[in-house]
Amino acid sequence: MADEVEVAAEEGTEPEVETEQVETAYGVPVTETRGERVLHPTADELVATVAALKADGFATLLDVIGVDYLTHGGRGDLPATITPQRFEVVYLLRAHIKHEIIRVRVQAEANEPVVPTLFDIFPGAETPERETFDMYGINFDGHPDMCRILMPEDWDGHPLRKDYGIGRIPVQFKGAPTRR
C-alpha cells in the first residue's frame, strides 16, 4: 500500500483505496444472521423490495415486529451502508416452495418513526402494523386505519418504548390486611 501511495504521489493521481464490498440482493444490502438472509432496505426502498420478494415466491407475511434500540449499545450486524436508528421494523416473509424464510429490517428515525405500509402488497399486514403503531408509536404511511388496536384510544404513550414510564397499580389481595 505504501508503494502505491508513493507512485500515486509521483504521478499526481489518487491511490486506489479498497472499499468494503456490501453484498446485495433485490437491490438492497443483505447480511446473514443465524442461517437466514436479512435484507436491509431504506424506508423508500421497502415497498419495491417486498413486492420483488413476493414476485419471487415469498408469498406469506409471517409477522411485523417493532424494535426500540434506545438502550442497546451497538449493532454490528448492520451493513456499513445502513445508518442505525432508534427504531426498526422487522418483517418475516416465507417462501413455501423454497422452504425459506427471509427477514427484512427497516430503520425508522427516533423523532418521527415512519415507514410505508405493506397493506397493498400483503393485506394481512393491517393488524400487525396497527399493533406496532400502538406499542411503539411507529407510523405506517398509507395504512387504511392507523389507530390503536390494543390500548384504549385515550391511552397516553406507547408501552413498549424503552423510555415509557413504568406505572404502579396497587393490588389488594383477598384476605390481606389493608394499609392505613
pLDDT digits (tens, 9 = 90+) for 61-103: 999 999 999 988 777 789 999 999 999 999 999 999 999 999 9
What confidence category does residue 22 fall into, taking pLDDT thresholds of 50, 70 and 90?
A: confident
Q: Which residue, among 149, 151, 129, has the nearest Cα to 140 in the 3D structure? A: 129
| Overall size of the chain counted in residues | 180
User: Is the CB of residue 69 less than 8 Å from the CB of residue 90?
Assistant: no
How many Cβ atoms from other residues are within 10 Å of residue 134's Cβ? 20
pLDDT in tens, 36-57: 999 999 999 999 999 999 999 9
pLDDT top residue among 10 and 63: 63
List the end-to-end C-alpha distance of the chain, in Å, as a whole number.
78
Q: How, if at all, do strands 100-108 and 36-39 pair?
A: parallel
The region that residue 179 occupies, defined by phi over 0 for left and psi between -120 and 50 for alpha, beta otherwise, is: beta
pLDDT in tens, 123-178: 999 999 999 999 999 999 999 999 999 999 999 999 999 999 877 666 667 776 76
Burial of 69 (0-12, 13-18, 19+ CB in 10 A): middle
What confidence category does residue 5 fall into, taking pLDDT thresholds of 50, 70 and 90?
A: very low
**Is the confidence at residue 30, as pLDDT, over 50?**
yes
How far apart are the C-alpha atoms of 6 and 28, rounded to whole Å?
A: 37
- pTM for the predicted model, two decimal places: 0.81
Q: Where in the chain are the domains?
A: 21-118
Architecture, CATH, for domain 21-118: 2-Layer Sandwich (3.30)
What is the reported pLDDT for 60? 98
Measured in degrees and rounded to the nearest 5, phi and psi for residue 153 equal -55, -30
What is the reported pLDDT for 53? 98
Q: Which three three-digit cell numbers place residue 165? A: 414510564
pLDDT top residue among 4 and 101: 101
Find all residues with CB under 8 Å of 56, minimum gap 6, and list them. 26, 95
pLDDT top residue among 106 and 165: 106
How far apart are the C-alpha atoms of 95 and 106, rounded to whole Å?
A: 20
What is the reported pLDDT for 85? 95
How far apart are the C-alpha atoms of 111 and 87, rounded to whole Å?
A: 10
What is the reported pLDDT for 34? 87
